[in-house]
Amino acid sequence: METTEETTSRTKSVKTFNKDNSSNRNSRKKGPIRLSKIKYEEKIVQVKRVTKVTTGGKKMTFRAVVIIGDNKRKVGVGVGRAEDVNLAIDKAILNGKKNLITVPLTLNYSIPHVMNTSYGACKIMLRPATLGTGVIAGGSVKTVLELAGIKNILAKQFGSNNILNNAKATIRALILLNEKIELGKTQSSRRYLFYAKVMKKYKNAKSINQ
């Protein structure tokens, strides 16, 4: 037979075990923000029918180009191919979420430097602008810049008018701009103070996909 002391000790141990589990659950709930829970805006830029000649005949598929962003700092370009249009768009959205990049924003919602990049036969020039200028660009370049959260910028595209290549050239320009800023911070204290004064400051939120 069990004594009253043994039963009370057992009940105490069970209560402490339940408290530990509840505290662990609460700590899990208060974790970092996941990128999968963030709502992104999607814009379908191009849906193209592609035919491939094979030995058995012609095979027809669809290619969709989708630009995805959160209008704050994240933007990406996705490409999807499938035999159905809706399936190609879904694949493009998933591909865009995998290839998201972070855009450097100034206090004027612009970029800090002039950037000239090229992708294939497309050439892109991005120039910073003051407040109230707006997004002066055309084609897929304007869509990428707007979904990235940039509100004041001047952009010009040269060479080919290919929608996908121009969007990828813009993404490449923003990636090179990030690299230039990170290098400038380490090169001299003067540039570090300049970026600290001009750039917007954000909290470093951890995410699963990073």
Residue ranges of domains in the chain: 36-101, 103-198
Task: Say which CATH class 36-101 falls into.
Answer: alpha beta
Reply yes or no on whether the pLDDT at 178 is more than 60: yes
Measured in degrees and rounded to the nearest 5, phi and psi for residue 200 equal: -75, 145
Reply yes or no on whether the pLDDT at 97 is more than 50: yes
pLDDT at 199: 84
Name the pTM for this structure.
Answer: 0.74
Percent of the residues in the chain that have a pLDDT greater than 90, as a whole number: 48
Measured in degrees and rounded to the nearest 5, phi and psi for residue 104 equal: -80, 125
Q: How confident is the model at residue 173 (pLDDT cuts 50, 70, 90)?
A: very high
pLDDT at 143: 92
Range with the poorest average pLDDT among 12-21, 32-41, 187-196: 12-21
The CA-based angle 185-141-89, given to 5 degrees, is 110
Reply yes or no on whether the pLDDT at 92 is more than 50: yes
- The highest-confidence range among 19-33, 36-50, 100-114, by mean pLDDT, is 100-114
Q: What is the pLDDT of residues 133-159, one digit of tens each?
A: 899 998 899 999 999 999 999 999 998
Reply yes or no on whether the pLDDT at 9 is more than 60: no
pLDDT at 154: 94
Percent of the residues in the chain that have a pLDDT greater than 70, as a whole number: 78
- Say if domain 103-198 classifies as CATH 3.30.230.10: yes
The SS3 of residue 77 is strand
Position 197, amino acid:
K
Q: How confident is the model at residue 71 (pLDDT cuts 50, 70, 90)?
A: confident
Q: How confident is the model at residue 209 (pLDDT cuts 50, 70, 90)?
A: very low
Q: Any idea what DSSP says for residue 62?
A: E
Cβ-Cβ contacts under 8 Å for 44 (sequence gap 6 or more): 64, 65, 66, 89, 92
Reply yes or no on whether the pLDDT at 68 is more than 90: yes
Cα separation, 171 vs 118, whole angstroms: 10
- Provide the token pair at 141: 């370049």
